[in-house]
Structure 1
Amino acid sequence: MLYKWLNAIDYVKNRKKFFAFSITITILGILTLAIFGLNRGVDFKAGTTLDVNGDKPLDKARVEALIKEAGFEAKTLTIAGSNNNHATARFDTVLAQADVTKVMDKLSGEYGTMTKEENTVDTELANELALKALYAVLIASLGIIVYVSIRFEWRFAVAGIVALLHDAFIVISLFSIFRWEVNLPFVAAILTIIGYSINDTIVIFDRVRENMRFAKLRSFNDLADLVNASIRQTMTRSINTVFTVFIGALLLFIFGSESIKYFSLAMILGLVSGAYSSIFIASPVWILLKNASLKRPAAPAAAKE
């Protein structure tokens, strides 16, 4: 039923509706980012992460209470380990060594001897991490542009990068709108989404290029028929791939640990956005660029001697 409905859509004819939908979310994201920014996690702002291990099972509520008794409050607290004997506490502030000692004294008094591992991110390092994360995304995008330009043509590269940036920004916008925490796993998810998105888009572009070998493109309608046919021919592959990976990401989100919760959530959103942009955004953008070349007047023939 789903495939039948998708195959009945005229993707080129309805391109303005798809563009309007994406532009609306993008504008909302820009406004939210401009007003509130991102809800940066401890990886991208000053703070301390404290990992502790003990011999006894740890109760989350009790550990939180002990940390408060020491005069602090953890931004997040995760209990893990085969015997629930490992705790990871993230603080929004940088804890001095004396502060860490206070927390450990409270925990040791309740649960006996415990070992700790302390990681502190200062403001300068946090800003550097955020900047390098941005560089990683830009470098990945540039590499994809170069590859697609060589492998296909520049119009495919432009359309592919529009879809790629669309996916990344949609996920970032949703995280900003709903104030979900942005951390290093989130950056890993964005880079994964970029790779997945361009891969899905390339499959459709490759079919478009193959079909162009046997098509006579003289008008916009010829291009529209070519793109619609190419999308329908790759629809089953696109949907099945997205569905398979989506189930894996969803199970990670439901059953995975707290530390990868936002990674899984970003992956889920990115997979949906990637499938959407590959079908509804990338090819319609390419057809607009290609149509402009069809309208360009042919170069005058050389004069015969």
Structure 2
Amino acid sequence: MEFFKIKRDIPFMRHALVLNAISVITFVAAVFFLITKPLNFSVEFTGGTVMELLYPKAADQEKIRNTLRGMGYSHPEVASFGTAQDIMLRLPIVAGAPAASSSTAVFNAICRDDQGTTKQTQTTTDKGEVLNRTSCVAPGGQELISLQQVQFVGPSVGDELAQNGLNALLMVILGIVVYLAIRFEWKFAVAAVVANLHDVVIILGFFAFFQWEFSLTVLAATLAVLGYSVNESVVIFDRIREMFRKQRRMSVPEVIDHAITSTISRTIITHGSTLMMVMSMLFFGGYALHYFAIALAIGICFGIYSSVFVAAAVAMWLGVKREDLIKPVKEKDDTDGAVV
């Protein structure tokens, strides 16, 4: 499917040096921000307290955030899950304060802001188990908030999650290298990895510069961008291989230019539709999906750039040629088997 068809090839590789110089500058800037302004890791990585609250009606999340800011939490993480009545709070570790007392103080403060008082109640399950439950009740006796669950994530668990995330990133990169080396050629594999690392580092650079919270969902978005970006590279590489077979008189830059130009319509359709979905998550998905959508949006935009201007150019500079992808046909010797 094509929205339009470009009759003349766009000379992308003629400007490859300038475009890749821009990529290098952007990459170096991202690394600089990562060094000078480390990532703002969420509770999953640093450790802290996770609280689940249940409201009888849709909760005012901004009011809860203001309450937590008043208690000294500069970046409180408040999000709904499941329904608008179910609220999850993620609170970082406070030096010198036990996790139990922190969660109690937070619940009491939220309850006071709703003009209620905390109350301990006991409920009996169907199995006969007696459970203690903390609630916030109004002066009239109706329940305003129910504390469903409190979990403490220790620093050791956060370190383990960070290590697992790094391992996942390395495994994805290794899988991409092996796949492209088998399907195409090692030069394409190296080019794709350079382009993908370019995308990942720039995403991390944005999060470091703006001090956006880096959570497990953002890590998932980063891994998704790796797969999404390499998909675009595979499409271009496959078209390059096809053009090497069809156009034997074209030079390598001309083949790459033709391959990129012929896939522009597909790129606009694919990435445009995906970006619209991501934008809907960004504007209408609420706080829980906000940074996830931001990471995806940055990755998609730079993924297009890197696939066209970084991966293809690096493959060209590594010396990819027709013989790397198309094995020469061995001419049959008519004298084979002849008796002299």
TM-score under structure 2 length normalisation: 0.77
| Contact persistence 1:75–1:89 (CA under 8 A) | no
Offset at residue 65 of structure 1 (A): 6.3
Which runs of no fewer than 5 residues in structure 2 stay unpaired? 112-135, 324-340
Aligned residues: 289
Q: Distance in 1 between matches of 2:221 and 2:13?
A: 30
Q: Is the 8 A contact 1:79 1:85 kept in 2?
A: no
Paired with 2:43 and 2:7, the residues of 1 have a C-alpha distance of 42
Residue of 219, 225, 248 corresponding to 2:254: 225
Asked whether 1:279 is paired with 2:282, we answer no
Deviations along 1:169-200, one digit per CA (max 9) or x if unpaired, are 11111111221111000110011000100111
**Mapping of 1:87-236 within 5 angstroms?**
87-93=87-93, 96-106=99-109, 107=111, 108-110=136-138, 111-112=143-144, 114-216=146-248, 222-236=251-265
* Structure 1 pair 56–237 and aligned structure 2 pair: CA distance change class (3 A): closer
**Structure 2: distance between partners of 1:83 and 1:232:** 46
* Root-mean-square deviation (Å): 2.7
Provide the rounded CA distance (Å) in 1 between the counterparts of 2:277 and 2:45.
27
Query: Which residue number in structure 2 is paired with residue 17 of structure 1?
Result: 18
Deviation at 1:79, TM superposition (A): 5.6
- Larger Rg, first or second structure (1 or 2): 2
Which SS does the other structure have where 1:49 is aligned? strand
CA 77–194 in structure 1, closer or farther in 2 if over 3 Å, else same = closer
Shift of 1:98: 3.5
Deviation at 1:271, TM superposition (A): 0.5
Contact 2:68 2:76 in 1 (8 A): no
Measure, in 2, the Cα distance between the counterparts of 1:25 and 1:165: 12
Q: CA deviation at 1:83?
A: 7.6
Q: Distance in 1 between matches of 2:72 and 2:281?
A: 31
1:48 deviation in Å?
A: 1.2
Contact 1:50/1:118 (CA < 8 Å) preserved in 2? Answer: yes
Q: Which runs of 5+ in 1 are unaligned?
A: 295-305
Indicate the structure with greater strand content. 2
Secondary structure of 2:246 counterpart: coil
Q: CA–CA distance in 2 between the matches of 1:200 and 1:284?
A: 14
Amino acid at match of 1:75: H
Asked if 2 retains the 8 angstrom alpha-carbon contact of 1:75 and 1:90, the reply is no
Q: How high is the sequence identity, in percent, across the aligned residues?
A: 29
**Residue 54 of structure 1, CA deviation:** 2.7
Post-superposition Cα deviations, 1:30-88, rounded to whole Å, max 9, x if no partner, equal: 1111112111111211211211003244334554566578x664732536479843322
Other-structure match for 1:54? 55
Distance 2:7 2:31 in 1: 30
1:123-163 per-position Cα deviation (integer Å, ceiling 9, x unaligned): 11112211211110110010110011111111111111111
Letter in 1 for 2:181: S
CA distance in 2, matches of 1:63, 1:99: 15
Paired residue for 2:269, among 222, 240, 257?
240
**Between Structure 1 and Structure 2, which shows a larger proportion of helix residues?**
1
- Distance, in Å, in 2 between the alignment partners of 1:18 and 1:6 is 23
Question: 1:58·1:79 contact (CA, 8 Å) conserved in 2?
Answer: no
Question: Quick check: 2:6–2:262 contact (8 Å CA) kept in 1?
Answer: no
Q: Deviations for 1:252-297, whole angstroms, at most 9, x for unmatched residues? A: 0000021111000000000001111111111111111125999xxx
Choose from 264, 287, 304 the match for 2:293.
Answer: 264
Q: CA separation in 1, counterparts of 2:68 and 2:207?
A: 29
Give the distance between the partners of 1:83 and 1:163, measured in 2 at CA: 39
Aligned to 1:168, the other structure's residue is in SS state helix
Equivalent-residue separation in structure 2 for 1:249 and 1:6 (angstroms) = 32
TM-score of the superposition, structure 1-length normalised?
0.85
CA contact (8 A) 1:25 1:173 kept: no
Give the counterpart letter for 2:285 in structure 1: G
Distance 1:7 1:235, change over 3 A: farther
Separation in 2, partners of 1:275, 1:6: 21
